[in-house]
């Protein structure tokens, strides 16, 4: 005997107030009776602070109870009997996001390093006393609706930046510091999760040849633990903007596609918050770079230039997520 949940939408993406419909497929080789079929939709936010933030000893006795965001059940059928072979039982359930346990709304699905927001649809067939129940589950992807997109103050959604030898806080090789460099550009900081982060970058001057320019998407997950906020920044993905020594004065496009399940609208809740940022890394072709791989953690950092992170504020429109009021600019 086996139970399978099959949803009508193949991508499993839903918005608040959508109807989740599909069928429960029961496969059996002999007739079996049941005393009830139930569909349950649950949403939870799981918080797990990193060992670097709280320490090994504190993590042994510190546990954070998952936050329940949604719990809704629907009785599909009361009693009946399955025939041998494949049996399909249709069901439907309305996803009412306004009744979520998250300040009146439901946050989007998010899979992070220390914060996970997950919605699971499960089905259970009760077979009676002394008989094992049949169960199955599938994760659905929740994305906010279009109607709550905030009106952003100010005429521009871009932030302008510049990188020079004077903006760096760590030591630089004499050849880089004496010759100097200047990189300018702009990048979008308010963006939609279904659209790329766009911008441009220009190397105005650099005395030393450039090896590569990379763009890194960062996430900062903050958790309230014992009356204090514990934050951890991790890398989501890295995208190379340029490979090799680029022409001076040439505008290079920035085009970063966001991974859906690893990002979500910027939000701030009582017990946790999520923020996203960008870091631009410029690697020079100094002599020291010939003896170390760029990804080697032991590589001396004198030939790697990092600018300050740029805060991103993300929301969803059209077919994707919507960012509500707790934006950090």
If asked whether residues 101 and 196 sit together in one domain, one would say: no
Q: How far apart are CA 106 and CA 91, in angstroms?
A: 23
Question: Could you say which residues of the chain have pLDDT below 70?
Answer: 53-63, 97-104, 145-156, 170-171, 286-329
Q: How far apart are CA 54 and CA 230, in angstroms?
A: 8
pLDDT of res. 323: 31
pLDDT of res. 144: 77
Which phi and psi angles does 265 have, rounded to 5°? -60, 140
Q: How far apart are CA 121 and CA 9, in angstroms?
A: 13
Q: How far apart are CA 8 and CA 294, in angstroms?
A: 46
> 239 is in which domain, residue-wise?
158-315
If asked whether residues 138 and 162 sit together in one domain, one would say: no
pLDDT of res. 154: 47
If asked whether residues 207 and 288 sit together in one domain, one would say: yes
CA 10 to chain centre: 21
Enumerate residues 6+ apart whose C-beta is below 8 A from 37.
Answer: 24, 75, 76, 77, 89, 123, 124, 125, 126
pLDDT of res. 148: 44
If asked whether residues 202 and 302 sit together in one domain, one would say: yes
Which phi and psi angles does 80 have, rounded to 5°? 175, -165
In a domain, 152, yes or no: no
Q: How far apart are CA 122 and CA 94, in angstroms?
A: 14
pLDDT of res. 122: 95
pLDDT of res. 326: 31
Q: Judge whether 44 and 121 are in contact, CB under 8 Å.
A: no
Domain stop point among 86, 112, 142: 142
């Amino acid at each position: 005997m086996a139970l399978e949940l099959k949803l009508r939408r193949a991508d499993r993406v839903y918005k608040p107030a959508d109807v989740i419909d599909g069928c429960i497929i029961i496969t059996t080789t002999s007739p079996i009776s049941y005393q009830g079929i139930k569909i349950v939709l649950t949403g939870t936010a799981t918080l797990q602070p990193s060992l670097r933030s709280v320490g090994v000893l504190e993590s042994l006795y510190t546990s954070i109870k998952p936050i329940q965001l949604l719990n809704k059940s629907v009785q599909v059928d009361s009693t009946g009997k399955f025939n041998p072979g494949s049996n399909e039982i249709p069901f439907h359930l309305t996803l009412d996001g306004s009744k979520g346990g998250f300040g009146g709304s439901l946050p989007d699905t998010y899979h992070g390093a220390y914060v996970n927001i997950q919605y699971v649809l499960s089905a259970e067939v009760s077979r009676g006393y002394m008989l094992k129940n049949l169960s199955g589950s599938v994760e659905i992807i929740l994305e906010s609706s279009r109607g709550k997109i905030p009106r952003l103050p100010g005429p521009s959604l871009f932030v302008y930046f510049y990188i020079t030898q004077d903006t760096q806080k760590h030591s630089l090789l004499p050849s880089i510091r004496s010759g100097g460099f200047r990189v300018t550009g702009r990048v979008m900081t308010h963006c939609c999760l279904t659209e790329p982060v766009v911008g441009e970058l220009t190397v105005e001057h650099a005395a030393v040849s450039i090896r590569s320019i990379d763009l890194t998407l960062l996430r900062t997950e903050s958790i309230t633990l014992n009356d204090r906020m514990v934050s951890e920044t991790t890398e989501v993905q890295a995208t190379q903007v340029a490979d090799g020594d680029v022409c001076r004065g040439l505008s290079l496009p920035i085009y970063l596609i966001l991974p859906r399940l690893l990002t979500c609208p910027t939000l701030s809740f009582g017990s946790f918050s999520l923020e996203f940022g960008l870091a631009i890394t410029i690697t020079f072709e100094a002599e020291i770079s010939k003896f170390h791989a760029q990804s080697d953690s032991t590589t001396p950092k004198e030939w790697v230039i990092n600018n300050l992170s740029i805060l991103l504020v993300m929301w969803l429109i059209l077919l994707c997520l919507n960012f509500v009021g707790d934006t950090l600019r």
